[in-house]
Every structure is written in structure tokens, then in C-alpha cells.
Structure 1
Amino acid sequence: MQVIRLENVNKTYSYYAHGVDRLLEILTKRRHHEEFVALHPLNLTIEHGQVIGVIGNNGAGKSTLLKIIAGTLSPDKGTSHVLGRVSALLELGGGFHPDMTGRENVYLNGTMMGLTIPEIDKLYHAIVEFAGIQEFMDHPVKTYSSGMFVRLAFAVATCTEPDILIVDEALSVGDGGFARKSFNRIMQFKQAGKTILFCSHSMYQIEAICDRVIWLEQGQIKMDGVPSSVVSAYTESLSQNVNAQLNTATTPVENATTSTFVEGTAKIKEVSVMADGVTEKKLDIFSLHSELCVTVKFTSDISLASPTVGVLVINADGRFITSAGTQHDGLQIQRDAKGNATVRVTFPKLALLKGEYWIDVFLLCENAIHVYDHASAVATLNVRQQGLEQGVVSLPRQWAQI
């Protein structure tokens, strides 16, 4: 059953350099503004229960598309048909009135979403409990910290049992513990068969959560299909910028030992990469001979299920060459009484062929979906080889004359 159908939807924004230009345009009947086409005529259908990822560069039209589906923005042309109650995590708390209390804003937003007062009464305690700010509910939200603000906004948006949930980069809201809590809530929606639109720059989460991905570029759908194919094509299109990004990337583990640990989350403490007994940030590797070891130390809230660790190898074009994960490979990490652990993955006779590669490390939840921490470009591998074998990896094989 189709729950979302967009037909020839178009949206253009007008920009005025000066406030008076709008008046001059009215008086003179001459154009005094610049235009930006956020969405070209666009057609889209989404079935009930689908989890749709929306990806694209900044300015591609992602937020405009989601706002039109949510009903907070009207298209200039075309029609948008949405069946069912929609809850949108676009600009968290965007509908909150700063002078009203948290309690008043819960009821205000609930009625805006189509709920009756008795329905909000039934949901109120669940909303407050999820947000975890009971003692502040009768205070004006303008006195809230940013973390308290997004906690309440997220709780209101997700406790109202919508048919369609729209998420725009909201999985990392609040502190580390609440980020995990909010992620679990969204996964519950998926398991319940709700329709979800998820916009993110995290390609890992897009592939982990979604069963269909839409790639927007310059206000048009460039590609629409299974996550692995669309994400691969999108990542390849960004490869021209990867070298600059990686050269300026910082490794968060350098300051991890001095950071404050947050309950309900986990943190990488140290990563070391060793090749043939040498530990450096830049390593020389001899293809099919060198042994590569990646050691990861982390700390975690002991009340959490034990985290998992992932290691990713990226080449100079930004392509993911290979990965290794404790969850996929069946290693159950045992932590000490304080939640600390150290794991190591070893690649004997590394099969990479000549080229330059980077190592990224992820610390993830027990299901290897939610990312607690990420260390980018922890080491650079300069791989050399003998012979003229081409490609990025040397696969085991056997020849025979028949």
C-alpha cells in the first residue's frame, strides 16, 4: 500500500540581498531577488513499512523533500499525498514556544500533530519518563540546556505512535546515553513495521538501517535502489574530495584519555596499528608478506551490553576495500569490572596490492549498528608489491591445465 506519493513536486527559494528589495520588487514589478531551485519536478512513491534512506550533499534538497512530506512546507508546483499520522524529527523543537513550559509545549505539539487532549494525557507520563527531565517540566523551555531541549523534543515526536517517522540527522541528539536510547526507539519503530524516512551523512547507518536508498543531487533523484548499490555509487562520486578530507582528518583517540566519560555510552581510548613489529602512523607494507595488526582499547558503561569493534580499510579513491568486525566474526568481548577491554585483529600476509590505504576504527553497539565512537585515518598504509598483478587485492587461486 502506498503511503507517500509525490507528483511533479517542485520547490524554489527566493533570496533578497536587502530587506528593501522585496518592497522594490512589488513597486517596480521588476525582479530584485536570486532564486535557488531546491527540488526540480520530482516523482516519488513509498510503500507502507519501507525504511528509506535519503542521501546527498548539502544543498541537494534532502531537507526540503522531507519537509514537504511532513507537511511543514508546501511545494510551488505538484502534489504531495501522505496517508497516516506523520512525526518529523527535522529541526528538533522547532515547534516549541520558548516562553511556555515543557508541559505546555508537550500539549501544544501534541495537538499540532492531531492528538486530542485525552490522548495526550495518556501519553504525557511516557513522554516525560523518556525525556528524563521530570523536575523541569513546569519551567519555561527557554531555560533548558540544549541537551534537555532535544530530549523533550525527541520524546514528543516519538511517543505519539506515528504511522510515518521522518528522521533528519537526529540519531545523535543529546548526550551519549540518550543518543543510544533514541536510536533504540527508532529501531523499535522499524521492528513494528512503521514507514521511516532517514536522512543521514553516515553511510554506515544508512546501509545498516534502510532497505531502500534515494540519492538526491541538485534537487533531483539521481539514483533509487538497494542500499549497497546506491551507497557505493554515492561514495565513489565523492572520491575526488577524499584526499583533502583525509589529509585534514583528526583522530579522536588522541584526546580520548582526557575526555569525560558519559554514562550510557562507550569511548575509544587508544588505537595502534603495527606492521611487521613496527607501530607508526605511516607504515610500509609488503603485499602478501607483511602482517598487519590493529589494536583497539576502549571503555564503556558496564551496564550496557558489551560493545563491538569494527575496522575498515579505505583506499585513496575513498572506496571501502574491506572490513572486519567482532560481531560479524563471532568474538564476544569480555570487559573488566570498569567496562574496559582491548581487542586486536590480525591480517597475516596482507593481501592488499600496491597503493595507499587508510584505517578507520568504529566502536559500535552489540548489534554493530549504533556508532558509539569513530577514529578516522588512524594509520596510513603504503603497500608495495612484486610483479605486475593489478587491482586492490590478491585472491587465493589455483591454476591447472585441463
Structure 2
Amino acid sequence: MLSESISVVDPASQAPVYAIEAHGLGKCYGLYARPGDRLKQLLWGRWRNYSREFWALQNVDLAIKPGEVVGIVGRNGAGKSTLLQMLCGTMPPTTGSLQVNGRVAALLELGAGFNPEFTGIENVFMNAAILGMKHQEVKDRLEEILSFADIGEFVHQPVKTYSSGMFMRLAFAVATSVEPDILVIDEALSVGDGAFARKSFDRIMGLKEAGKTILFCSHSMYQVEALCSRAMWIEAGTLRMLGTAAEVTSAYQTSLNASIPRSPELHADAIEAATSPKVAAPPGSGRITRIVAKAGGVSGRELDLVSGKTDLEITIEFTIDPTLPPPAVAFGFSDANKLTVASVLSSNDGIRLYVDKSGHGRAVVSFSKVPLLKGRYTVAGFLLCENAVHLYELVEHSLILNVTQKGLEQGLVTLPHEWGSHG
């Protein structure tokens, strides 16, 4: 018989060395070739096995200290959700031991415990109880929860009458109101419209700054590296790599790039549509209104450059809610195989952008003698919050750069270098 062990420790009873500690954690499922085999297994499984084993997760060892922010990356089906469900206590492991020290709040499937026939307020009490809050605690925080969700009089209506946005807002407000010791997030950093997405992001950042332990599962390597101190890479049910966020995301991205087929040629009309003028930014958010480049005295969105010879200037214009702090902007350069070659970020360079009273702003970045080697490159434009973590808008393929070269160098970039001789 395979062993399983889960324990949840009250943090008030001791000072735990680890918030989460796991040894040899694994989850196995039985897969059946035909529906009838399930009945056969039930009736005669003592003498014969009618299923085959499938290990969704196997031999995972973890030790996460209180206050750490750890990212989880991996392809779809790699076992990330299985790991998170076991850490949250909603799924027992097949093998190994797991100890969780403290109250856990999970942002996995927002509103999974909501009853569509109940009103919003009734669901708040029910869902908060599932998350471990006492009735009086919910009553004390009810006004704060409803204010954060901001769905007005709909809180007195059945949840089945809600729009998807209203449903998500209420579910997020409840899930983050329990003041957890450990917060588990699965692609839930931004929910709802622009204003609420910003508000939800600020609440999660507040939990991080308060020293809460956070596990953040995401397909955004940028957010994982920006938010997390460490990261783990789950591949085919096993822990392939555990290290600093920068090391893990770099290795994982390299693995993804190796499996991506060459992309088709991009057309100028598609780029024009991607950066067409847009309306003013909605409350709590921002919008990119224009991206244009200049090289060799020519302006446009598709330019010809000579490697190591041509200067490049990129201008980005944006509009943002005037009540928000000035944003950050970034550009990412990718080759024809979608490999990110280089990137620049205004806040990383200590640049604070100017925004007028209406929320309009622009930024210009210059590259001297662009060192890209021959090839066709695309440039993506990013508009982010002042901390460069929350993404307001991304415009992919905003620019195309056709680079030629005179020398025989190979690769993606030319490195500054000097030759010497010794006689």
C-alpha cells in the first residue's frame, strides 16, 4: 500500500522553520482503457489490475521558508496544478509527506465554491467558511469585502445573474480577505477590468510586502522573475529545476524556444492594425497609442538596418489613468523563431517618465550602432505599472527590423571586443 502523509500546523503553536515542507511527494492515477474496466476493478481488483498507472507528479522535494515568494513554471499538463492542489489540501498525495504551517488561501479556480442560487452575500459567508474564517470574522470584514468587490446592489441578487466579471471580483475579494500565511496563485494576478486588475495586483503585492509566503504559478516568465526570489520548473510530473527565479525562467524559456517552429513572415498591415490609435485609458489602467521607429533618416514600423552601423530610435506614446503613478515602458527584441534576443526597461534604467495632467505621455529610447546580426527581428512594446510587474498593455510585432551585415559573423549579436597579439 502506498503511503501518504499530510499535516497542517497551527503557526501559533511554534515557530516553523519552513512554511511548506515536502518529501517524495507524488500523485498517481489509474487510467482505464474502457469504461467497463472500472466496474471490473471494483469487483475483481483484488486478483487482477484492470488499470494502468499514470504519475501526474513524482518524487518532489520542497522546503519553502516563511515569507518566500516562489514561482512555478512548466508546460500545460506538467503537473503544476496537481502540486498546487496538494499544497492546498484539496487533493491527497499518493506517496510522500507534506507539512504546511499556517492558513492557506488559494487563487486557483476563483469562485469554485460558489452556489449560483445563493446571493452574493450568502456566498461570501459560505466561501469564507470554506477558507477557514469564522462567522464573526466574516461579519467584521463584510463591509471591506463588498467595498473591494464593488458590485453594488447585486450582492443581494443570486450569483447566477452576475456577469463573469462581477463573479470574479467577488470571488477574488473573498479569497484575499482571509489574511493567509500562505497564498497560492494560479494565473490570478489580474482579474476583471483595468481598475480592478490594478486593485487586485496591489492587494497581492501588499501580502508580499507583509511577509506572506506566496506560491505563484504562471506562464509569464517576466512576472515570475519580477515577483519571485526562487522558482521551480515542473516537467512531465517531476521537479526538473529549483533555483533562483532568473536561472529557472532562463532555462525554461530556452527549452520552450527550442520546440517552437519558425514563425511565418509578418506583414506591415498587421503591424499597423496592432498600433492603431485607441481611446483614452479606462480607469485604473493604461493604453499604448503609438509605437514608431526611426533609422537611417527613415521613420516607420518596418525598417532596414546595417549591423553595427545604423542607429535606431524607438518612440512609444501612451495614455494612462491620471490618478495612477507614471508607468514604465519596455521593448523586447525577438528573432524569427520567437527567441527573445534582448530587452530594455525604463524603470530598470532608473528612468521616471513624464505624464501630463490628462494622462498622456511618451518615451524615446535610442540604440547606437545596433549590434544585431543579419536577420529579421520583431519588437514588442510593453506598458507596465511603476513597479514594472503589472502589465497594462502589450503590443506584439509593433516593429519589424530587417538587419543586414557586411562581415561574416554568426549568431544573433556582435559582442564588443578587442584583439591583441603576443610576440
Deviates more, 1:271-280 or 1:337-346: 271-280
Supply the distance in 2 between the matched residues of 1:101 and 1:315 (Cα, whole angstroms).
Answer: 51
**Could you say which residue in structure 2 is the equivalent of 1:292?**
312
- CA 400–27 in structure 1, closer or farther in 2 if over 3 Å, else same: closer
Deviation string, structure 1 residues 128-171 (Cα, Å, up to 9, x no partner)? 11111242222111111111111111111111100000000001
Match of residue 27, structure 2, among 1, 5, 11: 11
Deviates more, 1:338-347 or 1:194-203: 338-347
**Could you say which residue in structure 1 is the equivalent of 2:11?**
none
Task: Report if aligned partners of 1:252, 1:375 keep a CA contact under 8 Å in 2.
Answer: no
Supply the distance in 2 between the matched residues of 1:11 and 1:23 (Cα, whole angstroms).
Answer: 22
Task: Report if aligned partners of 2:296, 2:311 keep a CA contact under 8 Å in 1.
Answer: yes
Matched, 1:193 2:211: yes
Question: Percent sequence identity over matched residues?
Answer: 46
Match of residue 390, structure 2, among 367, 370, 378: 370
**Could you say which residue in structure 1 is the equivalent of 2:125?**
107
Instruction: Return the offset for 1:397.
Output: 4.5
Deviation string, structure 1 residues 72-116 (Cα, Å, up to 9, x no partner)? 111122222111000000001111111111111111122222221
One-letter code aligned to 1:184: D
Supply the distance in 2 between the matched residues of 1:255 and 1:19 (Cα, whole angstroms).
Answer: 52
Q: 5+ residue gaps in structure 1?
A: none
Task: Report if aligned partners of 1:253, 1:269 keep a CA contact under 8 Å in 2.
Answer: no
SS at structure 2 position matched to 1:48: coil
**Could you say which residue in structure 1 is the equivalent of 2:235?**
217
Supply the distance in 2 between the matched residues of 1:203 and 1:83 (Cα, whole angstroms).
Answer: 28
Map 1:298-317 onto structure 2 (within 5 A).
298-316=318-336
TM-score by length of 1: 0.91
SS at structure 2 position matched to 1:159: coil
Instruction: Return the offset for 1:32.
Output: 6.0
**Could you say which residue in structure 1 is the equivalent of 2:8?**
none
Match of residue 22, structure 1, among 26, 29, 38: 38
**Could you say which residue in structure 2 is the equivalent of 1:2?**
18
Matched, 1:349 2:369: yes
Supply the distance in 1 between the matched residues of 2:98 and 2:264 (Cα, whole angstroms).
Answer: 40
**Could you say which residue in structure 2 is the equivalent of 1:88?**
106
Instruction: Return the offset for 1:390.
Output: 4.4
Matched, 1:175 2:208: no
Supply the distance in 2 between the matched residues of 1:371 and 1:106 (Cα, whole angstroms).
Answer: 29
Supply the distance in 1 between the matched residues of 2:273 and 2:139 (Cα, whole angstroms).
Answer: 46
Map 1:63-212 onto structure 2 (within 5 A).
63-212=81-230
Instruction: Give RMSD over aligned pairs.
Output: 2.6
Supply the distance in 2 between the matched residues of 1:283 and 1:123 (Cα, whole angstroms).
Answer: 56
TM-score by length of 2: 0.87
**Could you say which residue in structure 1 is the equivalent of 2:9?**
none
SS at structure 2 position matched to 1:125: helix
Matched, 1:384 2:404: yes
Task: Report if aligned partners of 1:236, 1:318 keep a CA contact under 8 Å in 2.
Answer: no
Instruction: Return the offset for 1:380.
Output: 3.0
Supply the distance in 1 between the matched residues of 2:341 and 2:264 (Cα, whole angstroms).
Answer: 16
Deviates more, 1:111-120 or 1:174-183: 111-120
Task: Report if aligned partners of 2:262, 2:336 keep a CA contact under 8 Å in 1.
Answer: no
Instruction: Return the offset for 1:40.
Output: 1.6
Task: Report if aligned partners of 1:238, 1:318 keep a CA contact under 8 Å in 2.
Answer: no
Match of residue 55, structure 2, among 37, 45, 52: 37
SS at structure 2 position matched to 1:39: strand
Supply the distance in 1 between the matched residues of 2:304 and 2:70 (Cα, whole angstroms).
Answer: 42
Aligned length: 402
One-letter code aligned to 2:212: K
Match of residue 329, structure 1, among 342, 349, 356: 349
Deviation string, structure 1 residues 167-191 (Cα, Å, up to 9, x no partner)? 0000121111111111111111111
Deviates more, 1:289-298 or 1:29-38: 29-38
Instruction: Return the offset for 1:349.
Output: 1.4
Instruction: Return the offset for 1:6.
Output: 1.6
Instruction: Return the offset for 1:333.
Output: 2.3
One-letter code aligned to 1:8: G
Supply the distance in 2 between the matched residues of 1:79 and 1:66 (Cα, whole angstroms).
Answer: 15
Task: Report if aligned partners of 2:71, 2:218 keep a CA contact under 8 Å in 1.
Answer: yes
Q: 5+ residue gaps in structure 2?
A: 1-16
Matched, 1:265 2:281: no
